[in-house]
Chain A
Amino acid sequence: MSREAWRVAEEIRAGADPSRHVEEVLERIERWEGAVKAFISLDLPEALRERAERLERKIRKGERVGKLAGLLVSVKDNICTSWLPTTAGSRMLEGYVSPYNATAVERVLQEDAIIVGKTNLDEFAMGSTTELSAFWPTRNPWDLERVPGGSSGGSAASLAYGGADLSLGSDTGGSARLPAAYTATVGLKPTYGLVSRYGLIPYGNSLEQISPMARSVRDVALLLEVIGGWDPKDATALRVERPRLDPSPAEPRALRLCLVKEMVEGAEEPIEKLFWNTIHKLSSEGAQLEELSIPLLSKALPAYYTIAFAEASSNLARYAGIFYPTKGSSGSWEKYVGEARARGFGREVKRRILMGVYALSEGFRDEFYVAATKVRRAIRDEVLKVVKRCVIAAQASPILPPKIGERLDDPLKLYYMDMYTVIANLAGVPALVQPLGFSQGLPIGIQWMAGPLEESKLISLGLLVEELTGIKGAMAE
C-alpha cells in the first residue's frame, strides 16, 4: 500500500486486479475516515467496485488503458462533478449537483482513474486550516488534535491516511501547498494557465489553479501530465501541449538555488532547522546557493488578500437564492437575497465579501484594489527576474500544524500562515511543496519555486530531495 501511485497504475496496466486495489483503499477509508473526516461525500463502495470491474474487463479485452488505470482519486469539493454533489464546503451549495464535470475531472476519468469522493475544504476555499468548512473540520491524520492545513485539507488528509492515491486540490494562495506541508504529502501549484480552471468554483480567479496532490513527487508529476495543457473552455488557459515530465532526479551540481530572505526567515525553530539542513546538504552535493532579498515581498500578503477578496466578493454575488439550494423566504427581492446570503454564507466568507466590496468601491478602489494590482505586478516582475537564474528555495509555512481551534479567533493570524505561499500565486509561477521530515511527529515541508512552465525543474529537484530525505509515500499509521 505504500507503493507509489504510478507503480500501482503500471501494475494494473500489466494485469494486476484493480478490484484488489479498490479494496485496499476502502479498508483505509473504513479505518480512518470516521476520525479524520476528509470527505464531504464518498461514492458508494459498490460503485467504486463496479468501476474497477469495468476497468478489468477493458484490460482483458485489450483496449487502450489510461495512465491512471485503477488509481483512486479524491477531488476537492470546489471542483465540479456531475454525479456527486459539489458544495465548495458551503451551506449555500449543500446538495448542489453540477450538471457538468470540470475539465480536470474529465481528463482524470479519461485516463481510467476512479474518483472516490469529494474532499472537505474551508468554505469556498477561504481558509488555511479546513476548520472553516460549513460542515465540519477535517483532522490531520498525523495528529488528530491538529488541522491538516487548508483549504485543500480534505484532499491532503485523504492522501495522508491512504484514502486516495492522488488528489485534485486547488491553490489560490497556498491552499494545496500548506496542507501538503502539514500532512507530509506533495502539492504542486502549476504555472497560472497550465491547468484549466473550467469547473473550479472560483475564489480568486486570477490567482488560482487546480493543483495535483499526491504522496510522492513522481505521482504529482503523473497527475499534472493528465490535467495540464490547453482547454478551449478557459480563456486564461495557456496554449500549451499537455506537459511531459521527465522522472529523473536533478543533478545537484547543475542546481542553482536562491534563498530569498523574506521567504526563508520568520519560521518556527524546528522548521528553520530542517530547512537549513536540507539546503546545506544540497550545497555539499554541489548545488550553488545565492542569498538575496526582495523587500517588496513584505507587501505580498496584503496585496494578495486585497485581490483575492475583491475577486471573491464578485464571484460570490451569484449566490442569491435563485439557482442554488439555500433560499430566502421574504416576498421582497432585496430581503429574499439578503436572507439567502445570510443563511448560506459562513462568517469568514461574509468578512471577505465585505472587505472585497470595500476594496472595489468607488473612492476606495484606487487605494486598495488598483494599488494591490500594481504591487502584484511589481512583485511578479521581481520574482520572474530571480527565477530566470535559479530555483527559489522557500519555507512552506511559518508554523507547525496548529491545534484545532487555536487560530480561529484571529483572522490575521490565519492569513499570516500563507505568507510564503501567496508569492507564487501573485507571480503566476509554479511552486512545489514536499515533505522534509518531522518534528515531534508533525510534518515539515519545504517549498520550491521556478519560472513559468518550468514544472519539470521542480519535479526533478523534488525527486533529488526525496532521495536525500528518504521521505516518499509516507502515510500515517
Chain B
Amino acid sequence: MKAMIGLEIHVQMTEAGSKLFCDCKANYRGMEPNSNICPVCIGLPGALPVVNKRSVELALAASLAFNCHVPDYIVFTRKHYFYPDLPKNYQISMYERAGGVPICRGGKVRYLDIHSWEWKECRLRRINIEEDPGRTIYGEGGILRSSEAYVDYNRSGVPLLEIITEPDLKSAREARQLVEYVLLVLEYLGATNPRLEGAFRVDANVSVEGGERVEVKNIGSTLDVEKAINFEIMRQSAIISSGGKVERETRHWDAERGSTRPLRQKEQEEDYLYFPDPDLPAIALRDMLPKAKAIASSSDPAALFEKAISLGVQRELAWSMVTARPSLMLYLEAVERGADPQLAARIIAVDYKGELREREKDPHDPANWPSADTIVELSRLMKEGAYTYDAIKGIVLPKLAENPAADLKLLLPQRAENLEQVIEEVLKREERAVKDYLSGKAQALNYLVGAVIRAAGKRALDPRAIREAIERRLAKK
C-alpha cells in the first residue's frame, strides 16, 4: 500500500558548548544526575534566559545548508504543557504564528539514496530552535505502568533543532536515509555528534492510502526509524485491507518489542498557549549570516563527496569516507599535499579502516587516524616502487592502526638497498649455505633470509624483498 511519511527530527546540538540559555554544558554525558544545572535551566523564579549565540549560528548554518527561507530575525515562543521534566512547564521553542518567527520556513534536503546512488529531495516545513526538557526515568513498568519517576535535569535546556519535513517520503528506507543524511550534515557543520546516546529522536507521521495519519513517537536510532515505519505501514495496511479504519492517534515505538502501541487515542489538538517569550527580544540574524554561510559552505558533505568522486575515487569508497568525517578530511588533506588519490583512498577507505574495525577503534575519532603527512609519504613510497601496496598493507597499516602517531620510519620494512651491507656480511659468514644454494639446495635460501633478518636486528623487514635481493646478489657470482 502507498504510504506517506513525514518526520519530526529532534537533534541536540551537542557540540554547541553550552546550553541554549545558560552556561551549563550542552553535552551532559557521564555526569552525576542534576549536577549540570543552574537557576536558569531549572527555571527558578526570577532567573532569565539569555540565548547562546553559538547555537543560533549553528542553527542558521543548518538552515542555509537545507536551503531554507531564513527570516531577518527570529522570535522564540513559549510552548506550554505540564510535565515533570519541564521545569517551567513551558518550553522555549519556536512557532510560526502568534508572533513567533522560526529560523527556517520552507527548505529542502537533498539526500543520497545509497541503494540506487540517486540524490532525492524532501521538503522541509520548518526548523525550530528549542530547549530540551529534562529526562524522566521511570521505575519498573515504564512510562505506562510505573508508580514512580525520577527526573534528571542535566539535559534541561540543551539546544535542540526540531526539523519538520513535509510528508514527501514514500518508504521506511527513504525515511531512514533522510535522517542519516540530515545527521551527517549537522555533524559536518559541527552542531552535533549523532553517535552520543540520546543525541537525536525522531517522531514519524505515517499514513497509508485510505487511512488517517498516525504519529509514532520515541524513535531513537536510524535503524529504528526504518523498523518503526515499516511496522506501522504493515499494521495500518492490514487494518485497511480487512475493511477497518485507521483513526488518527499517537503511538509509542517500543524498540525492545519492535512494535508500536497506542499512547493516547482520539487525540484532540492540544492547546499550547503559544506566545512570544517576553524575556527574549527578537534576534537579528544579519550579523551572524557571514559566519553561518562560511560554516555551511565549507562543511557540505555532498560537495565533499563530489570532490572525492572527481578525484577518480569509486563512489562506494568516497561514501565510506564521507560517513566517517575524520577519514574524509584526512583524505582530502593528503591528496592536496600530493598523495595519489587512488592509493590514498584505498589505504584510508578500505584497509586502514578495516584495521580500525578489527581493533574496535572508533573511525569517527580523529585521534585514531594517522596524519596526512604519513599518508602522503606512504603514497610516495609506493609510487616510487620502494614498496608494494601489499607490503604497506601487511606490515605498516596494522602497526599504524595500533599507534597512529608512530614514526613511519620505524614501521617501514627496511628497503633492499639499505640491506646490501648486511646481506654482504651474512653471505661472507655463511659460506657453506651459499655453497649449498649455488649447488641447487633451495632450502638454503630460506636459511639465508632468516640469517639476514636476525642480523638486521629489530627493524621491520619484508622477507620477500630480502629473498629477491639475495637471489640477485648470488646470480652475479
Whether A associates with B in a native complex is yes
Of the candidates B39, B151, B273, the one whose C-beta lies within 8 Å of that of A314 is B273
The answer to the question of B135 belonging to the interface, with a C-beta cut-off of 8 Å to chain A, is: no
Which residue of B42, B51, B151, B275 is within 8 Å of A360 (Cβ)?
B275
Verify if B108 is at the interface (C-beta below 8 Å from A).
no
Contact residues of B: prevailing secondary structure: loop
In chain A, what residue has the closest Cβ to B151? A322
Interface string of A74-101 (1 = CB under 8 A from B): 0000111000001010000100101110
Report B75-116 CB contacts with A as 1/0, cut-off 8 Å: 000101010100111100000001100000000000000000
- Name the residue in B78, B88, B99, B279 with the highest tally of chain A Cβ atoms < 10 Å from its Cβ: B279
Instruction: List A contacts of B279 (CB < 8 A).
Output: 202, 205, 235-236
B407 close to chain A: CB less than 8 A = no
A235 and B281 within 8 A (CB) = yes
CB pair B45–A98 under 8 Å, yes or no, is yes
User: Which residues 301-332 in A have Cβ within 8 Å of B in the complex?
Assistant: 310-311, 313-314, 317-318, 320, 322-323, 331
- Is residue A333 contacting chain B, with contact meaning CB distance below 8 A? yes
The reply to whether the CB of A471 lies closer than 8 angstroms to some CB of chain B is no
- Interface size, chain B (Cβ < 8 Å): 32
A198 contacts B147, C-beta separation under 8 Å: no
Determine if A361 and B273 form an interchain contact, defined as CB atoms under 8 angstroms apart.
Answer: yes
Contact check, A323 vs B44: say whether CB atoms are below 8 A apart: yes
Asked whether, in the complex, the Cβ of B89 is within 8 Å of the Cβ of A199, the reply is no
Q: Does B49 contact A (CB under 8 A)?
A: yes
User: B275-304, CB under 8 A of A: which get 1 and which 0?
Assistant: 100111100000000000000000000000
Contact B48 A235 (CB under 8 A): yes
Chain A residues in 8 Å Cβ range of B273: 313-314, 357, 360-361
Partner of B89, one of A93, A202, A318: A318
Shortest CB distance A129–B (Å): 23
* B410 interface residue (CB < 8 Å to A): no
Q: How many residues of A contact B (CB 8 A)?
A: 46
Which residue of chain A has the shortest Cβ distance to B97 in the bound complex?
Answer: A365
A317 adjacent to B88 (CB under 8 Å): yes
Output the least CB separation between B93 and chain A (Å).
Answer: 13
Q: Is the CB of B281 within 8 A of A80?
A: no
Which residues from A are CB-within-8-Å of B89?
317-318, 320
- Tell whether, in the assembled complex, residue A370 and residue B99 are in contact, meaning their CB atoms are under 8 Å apart: yes
Is B80 a contact partner of A80 (Cβ separation < 8 A)? no
Say if the beta carbon of B46 comes within 8 Å of chain A. Answer: yes
| Contact partners of B278 in chain A: CB under 8 A | 204-206, 236, 311
Q: Indicate whether B269 reaches chain A with its CB closer than 8 angstroms.
A: yes
Q: Which residue of A80, A235, A311, A369 is within 8 Å of B46 (Cβ)?
A: A80
Listed by A's residue number, 17 A-B pairs whose Cβ atoms lie within 8 Å are A78-B46, A80-B45, A93-B45, A96-B45, A100-B44, A102-B46, A198-B46, A198-B47, A202-B45, A314-B90, A317-B80, A317-B82, A317-B89, A362-B271, A369-B98, A369-B275, A370-B98
Chain A residues packing against B (C-beta within 8 Å): 78-80, 86, 88, 93, 96, 98-100, 102, 197-202, 204-206, 232-236, 310-311, 313-314, 317-318, 320, 322-323, 331, 333-334, 337, 357, 360-362, 365, 369-370, 373
